[in-house]
Amino acid sequence: MLTQEEKTILDFLIPQFKNGNPMISLQQICKETRIPNYEADLALRHLSDEGYLSIKKYLSGCFVNKISHKGIHYSEYESAISTSSQTNIFNGPVSGAAIGNSGTTIINNGLTFQNAYELIKSQPVTSEDKVEAEKVITYIEALAESEAPLKKGILSKFSDTLAKHSWLPDIVMKLLFQYITGQ
């Protein structure tokens, strides 16, 4: 998906190239769109990498020298990306299947505490959220090492953290299941 800055840049560039302008400078784009130079530069690089336009770099600066078909019709590409969802209906056994619509599927039947910490580190969340999630895993690890019996509400103090991150309860339940079954 394109950022708002990238869409603004494309909205500015499309009529410019349709009117026959051969090249448009980064400075002109910044002036007309009021996007700061560094943000516009990053946006142009991303748009170029994704095939929306072509850029040329000279000693005098960065210039857009071509806008592609994909760039001219970017809104159609964006709507195709955002509306392409699929629903599968299957009536049969689902043991060992990955079910859900989170966009990420992790199948790991032998989850270790080290794996759990690595999964937390790989999540696209803030460092504060990662620290909170690691506290949950550390707590479960301490329970497992001390072989403490599990009581009702044992994770209640982490309920906000567990509710905030949909991926965390899965990790917690796998670790607790392994602890309960002695694996």
Class of domain 4-76: mainly alpha
How confident is residue 60, by pLDDT bands cut at 50, 70 and 90? confident
How confident is residue 123, by pLDDT bands cut at 50, 70 and 90? confident
Q: Which of 7, 68, 54, 69 is nearest to 33 (CA)?
A: 7
Indicate the average pLDDT of the chain: 83
pLDDT of amino acid 7: 92
Would you say residue 94 has pLDDT above 90?
no
Sheet holding 24-25, edge to edge: 24-25, 61-67, 53-58
pLDDT of amino acid 27: 92
Percent of the chain, pLDDT > 70?
Answer: 83
pLDDT of amino acid 55: 92
Domain ranges within the chain, ordered by starting residue: 4-76, 113-181
